[in-house]
Structure 1
């Protein structure tokens, strides 16, 4: 692709994301809806102006990594630790229920082959942490009780999803499953999440020190972006999603994170705020590219809308996708209003579901009809979930706020 075309595409993505986000905000709708719709309009679903190539995919990946870094910075680790048991219950229930329901409905009702049914069940386990945290942030509920539980569960979901994805892909290629490989991935991911925040916290003091000594401006954003991207690369190398590397770095650099074993290093208490303020403009440029990219990846024009199978299949699997995550939310030991809010927040599949579906298509597990049906399911849970989540908070938001403050 010629450079001037790529530059025009990036400009179109940024401008359309902003315009559609403004329109969404005027209608009192989460901004992420506008950004997703911008991708649908620009992509193959409608105008077909932009086909997401590798440079745009890379920018989108940087966007979600930086967004998760910001979420990590704003995360109250104390609340997250307190919600640890609840987050783990939600992650396990919200992973197992959609998987079993998706596999069962496809294998026993639609008579699909076992591997296809397993892949569909695996796709339904996904939770788009990027879409979910953006919806909660737009509603001002990112640091709420349910927000912290959902965030913790979504991180665990992503890790389990990676392990399951590796197992299913290996089975589709070799017809065998190596539990040793799955165990190795799980071990590496666990070690990374133990060590990464500690290392990042120590490196943050180096960034702070050199910022005080530096004669040239820009030390903080250059140092932080380098740190975040390095951690994202390491996360990928150990088998975890890159975005979780950004989240681990953000957690470590938040003012609520303390090193273990009583280690205490003196640092300017305003440095964390200053750091966040300098990173915000960069995050606001890159993160919309990711959400537009999700919309660009949904080729709704390729769907055979006249096929009875696609409609019956997609509607049934969509219902299973929603019910599976709501079951996960209902398993959490909270009041009923919080449990429903938690389950609803876990429904969007977004880019994580698309990764599963695309791998199923590329590996030959999904035929065109099944793939099209899964795209519809992912599109529905991603594009429409924010509307009914927002409606729920409009009705029960005051009650949830009182529960959170109590």
Structure 2
């Protein structure tokens, strides 16, 4: 691709995402859906003027990492820690219930092969917290207790998801349970969980120590983005599959590992204010690229809407996808059932995480085209509907 062609593509992504985001917001629809629709409109589903490529994927991954970094520095770490056990329960049930019901329904009800059924169950376990967090920020509810539980659950959910995908992929390729490889990846990820906060704390101390001594402008954004790239590289070393390298980086450094960094900066409000001031414009440029890429990846052409079997399977798995994530939130104690319901809704979106599962199954010849198309439709439904529900019902949490 020529450089001037890429400039035009980037122009279209940014301007169409901005226009549709503003339009949707004025209509009372979550702006993130406008950006998703921009991707569907520009992609092969409608106009076909933009095809996903490696450069756009990298920019999109930077976008989600920056979004989650912003969430990290705004998160109340003490409240997140207090929500730990509740988050753990929501996350584990949000994996076990979709995986189990998806696997059993595929294998026994629809008579699909076990490896296909395993991939369907794995896809249903996914949670795209980026979409939920964007909606919570749009409605100014990102600092509620509910949001802290959802953030914690999403961290655990994504860590389990990485390990689960490694196991499912190994089993589907070799038809044997390679527990050694799975445990190796799990061990590396857990080691990173332990060491990364220490490293983040140390680096944040150095940033604080040398703040104000620089002579060249741009100290804060340069150092922050450099740290993000460094953590992305470290995440690649934990042994996760290459296709998940950037995804693991987003989980590792933004959702969990920069939280001590943010907490440390809270002792210096001036520095924290400068971080927000310098990073916000960069985040606002890159984040829409991520949501547009999710839309670009949703190819509606693969779906045969005239097939009766397609609709039977789609409705069945969409129902499972909603119910299993929703039910998991009711196993924790909240001040009212509405809080449980909002947590459950927040965990439903599959988005790019579901697409990673489905695409890996398709590329490796595990998922037939009709099953892949059905999963794409399930992912679209579970990505688009929850933001509407959150915006309509999330007017504040119960006391």
TM-score, shorter chain, exceeding 0.5: yes
Root-mean-square deviation (CA, aligned residues, Å) is: 1.5
Does 2:271 align with 1:246?
Answer: no
Find the residue that maps to 1:384 and give its secondary structure. Answer: helix
**Pair 1:256–1:217, CA change in 2 (3 A):** closer
**For the Cα contact (< 8 Å) 1:116–1:366, is it kept in 2?**
yes
Q: Which residue of 2 aligns with 1:369?
A: 370
**For the Cα contact (< 8 Å) 2:204–2:264, is it kept in 1?**
no
Q: How does 1:242-321 map to 2 (within 5 A)?
A: 242-247=249-254, 248-255=256-263, 268-321=268-321
Gaps of 5+ in 1: 259-266
How many residues of Structure 1 are paired with residues of Structure 2 in the alignment? Answer: 390
Find the residue that maps to 1:255 and give its secondary structure. Answer: helix
**CA–CA distance in structure 1, aligned partners of residues 314 and 237 of structure 2:** 35
Q: Give the TM-score normalised by structure 1.
A: 0.93
Q: Which residue of 2 aligns with 1:344?
A: 345
**For the Cα contact (< 8 Å) 1:76–1:256, is it kept in 2?**
no
| Displacement after TM superposition at 1:211 (Å) | 3.4
Does 2:156 align with 1:148?
Answer: no
**CA–CA distance in structure 1, aligned partners of residues 257 and 121 of structure 2:** 31
Deviations 1:226-249 (CA, angstroms, capped at 9, x unpaired): 001111221232137121133144
**CA–CA distance in structure 2, aligned partners of residues 226 and 367 of structure 1:** 41
Deviations 1:79-138 (CA, angstroms, capped at 9, x unpaired): 111100000000011111111111111111111011111110000000002111111111
**For the Cα contact (< 8 Å) 1:255–1:272, is it kept in 2?**
no
Q: Which residue of 2 aligns with 1:333?
A: 333
Find the residue that maps to 1:215 and give its secondary structure. Answer: coil
Gaps of 5+ in 2: none
| Displacement after TM superposition at 1:323 (Å) | 0.5
Q: How does 1:67-82 map to 2 (within 5 A)?
A: 67-82=67-82
**CA–CA distance in structure 1, aligned partners of residues 215 and 325 of structure 2:** 52
| Displacement after TM superposition at 1:256 (Å) | 6.0
**Greater mean alpha carbon deviation, residues 113-122 or residues 273-282:** 273-282
Q: How does 1:5-404 map to 2 (within 5 A)?
A: 5-238=5-238, 239=240, 241-247=248-254, 248-255=256-263, 268-334=268-334, 335-393=336-394, 397-398=395-396, 400=397, 402-403=398-399
| Displacement after TM superposition at 1:288 (Å) | 0.6
**CA–CA distance in structure 1, aligned partners of residues 151 and 268 of structure 2:** 28
**For the Cα contact (< 8 Å) 1:357–1:375, is it kept in 2?**
yes
Q: Which residue of 2 aligns with 1:264?
A: none
| Displacement after TM superposition at 1:203 (Å) | 1.0
| Displacement after TM superposition at 1:201 (Å) | 1.9
Deviations 1:344-367 (CA, angstroms, capped at 9, x unpaired): 110000000000000010111110
Find the residue that maps to 1:270 and give its secondary structure. Answer: helix
**For the Cα contact (< 8 Å) 1:232–1:244, is it kept in 2?**
no
| Displacement after TM superposition at 1:30 (Å) | 1.5
Q: Give the TM-score normalised by structure 2.
A: 0.95
**Pair 1:99–1:257, CA change in 2 (3 A):** farther
Deviations 1:180-208 (CA, angstroms, capped at 9, x unpaired): 22112112111212221221121122223
**CA–CA distance in structure 2, aligned partners of residues 228 and 191 of structure 1:** 18
Q: Which residue of 2 aligns with 1:262?
A: none
Find the residue that maps to 2:269 and give its secondary structure. Answer: coil
Deviations 1:279-306 (CA, angstroms, capped at 9, x unpaired): 1110001011000000000000221111
